[in-house]
């Protein structure tokens, strides 16, 4: 395999709640005023990323996986997941509040949808003053209490609201009720899954004037009704090293703030590596090929690469791999 920093064409998604920050903050080429998501790296059926640079230009991520297998993914990753790319990488711009929702675990998702569950994490790139997230409940509730509040349109009384600022990071495990609030631009790393149970959507209507589908009954067995303080991620921000953020069975994410010239050893890592640039800009060198990465861009480094060089003046990166 030709090993170099691989860039992919973003897959842009219009959403009812979307805005213009993906264009304004990240300089993505977007004309729409309601673009809510940029899928940076995806092997979801119907939305498979396509290479934009180098010798694999115009090849899809799935074609690369099918051809190069463990060379691209890592032998242990390929053994575990086969030809299915295990994570989905996005940037999300919420101009309006997103629906209140949750995701099923692997067991429930496999049984009901023949899919992975959806464990995810958020890194706040930018937040307007007063912006907040919904993460979990503000007290322990029962299924009956939850259902009563849902039916009475008073769900907000039992939800936990978190004020946020740039750099805040949240781990959203399956079953946790959550929502991204208005004015938030974030990076999302998640299991490859598009299974979401929407439980409340502010009675919004789509462009056809229809209310969006809710998944009230499906959600009941999937919700974690306990109050838990397990979502805010505390991490160090030491420069020129990998600072551990989230390490879970589905993905590992570290924070890197690079100043100057960093040589980063990947020889002991049996996994692909993804870099998301969440601040500044940088040059990434792998396999003798250099590629510039600006804020809001993402690069995939094949597992066959033993070392990367990262050259920057204060770039902020999320480094993602499978442990």
Q: Which residues are catalytic?
A: 198
What's the CA gap between 187 and 275, in Å, rounded? Answer: 11
What's the CA gap between 259 and 269, in Å, rounded? Answer: 23
Dump the DSSP string for 33-100. Answer: S-EEEEEEE-EETTEE-BB-SGGGTT-BHHHHHHHHTHHHH-HHHHHHHTTS--EEEEEEEESSPPPE
CA dihedral 302, 2, 49, 300 (to 10 degrees): 30
Residues 6+ apart with CB under 8 A from 211: 201, 203, 204, 205
What's the CA gap between 21 and 306, in Å, rounded? Answer: 35
């Amino acid at each position: 395999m030709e090993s170099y920093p691989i860039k992919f064409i973003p897959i842009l998604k219009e959403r009812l709640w979307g805005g213009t920050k993906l264009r304004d903050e990240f300089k993505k080429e977007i004309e729409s005023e309601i673009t809510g998501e940029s899928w940076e790296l995806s092997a979801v059926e119907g939305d498979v990323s396509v290479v934009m640079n180098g010798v694999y230009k115009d090849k899809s991520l799935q074609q690369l996986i099918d051809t190069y297998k463990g060379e691209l993914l890592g032998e242990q990753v390929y053994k575990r997941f086969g030809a299915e790319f295990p994570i989905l990488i996005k940037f999300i711009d919420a101009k309006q509040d997103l629906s209140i929702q949750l995701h099923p675990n692997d067991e429930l998702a496999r049984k009901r949808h023949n899919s992975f569950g959806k464990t995810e994490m958020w890194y706040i790139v930018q937040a307007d003053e007063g912006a907040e997230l919904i993460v979990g409940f503000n007290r322990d509730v029962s299924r009956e209490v939850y259902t009563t509040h849902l039916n009475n349109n008073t769900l907000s009384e039992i939800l936990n609201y978190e004020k946020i600022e740039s750099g805040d990071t949240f781990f959203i495990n399956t079953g946790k009720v959550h929502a991204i609030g208005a004015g938030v631009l974030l990076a999302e790393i998640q299991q490859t899954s598009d299974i979401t149970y929407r439980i409340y959507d502010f009675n919004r209507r789509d462009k056809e004037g229809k209310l969006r589908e809710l998944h009230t009954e499906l959600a009941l067995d999937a919700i974690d009704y306990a109050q838990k303080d397990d979502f805010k991620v505390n991490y160090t921000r030491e420069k020129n090293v990998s600072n551990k953020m989230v390490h879970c069975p589905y993905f590992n994410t570290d924070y890197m703030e690079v100043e100057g010239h960093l040589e980063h050893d990947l020889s002991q890592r049996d996994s692909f590596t993804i870099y998301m640039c969440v601040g500044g800009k940088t040059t990434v060198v792998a396999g003798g090929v250099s590629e510039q990465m600006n804020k809001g861009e993402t690069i995939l480094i094949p597992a066959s690469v033993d070392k990367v060089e990262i050259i920057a003046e204060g770039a902020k990166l999320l480094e993602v791999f499978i442990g």
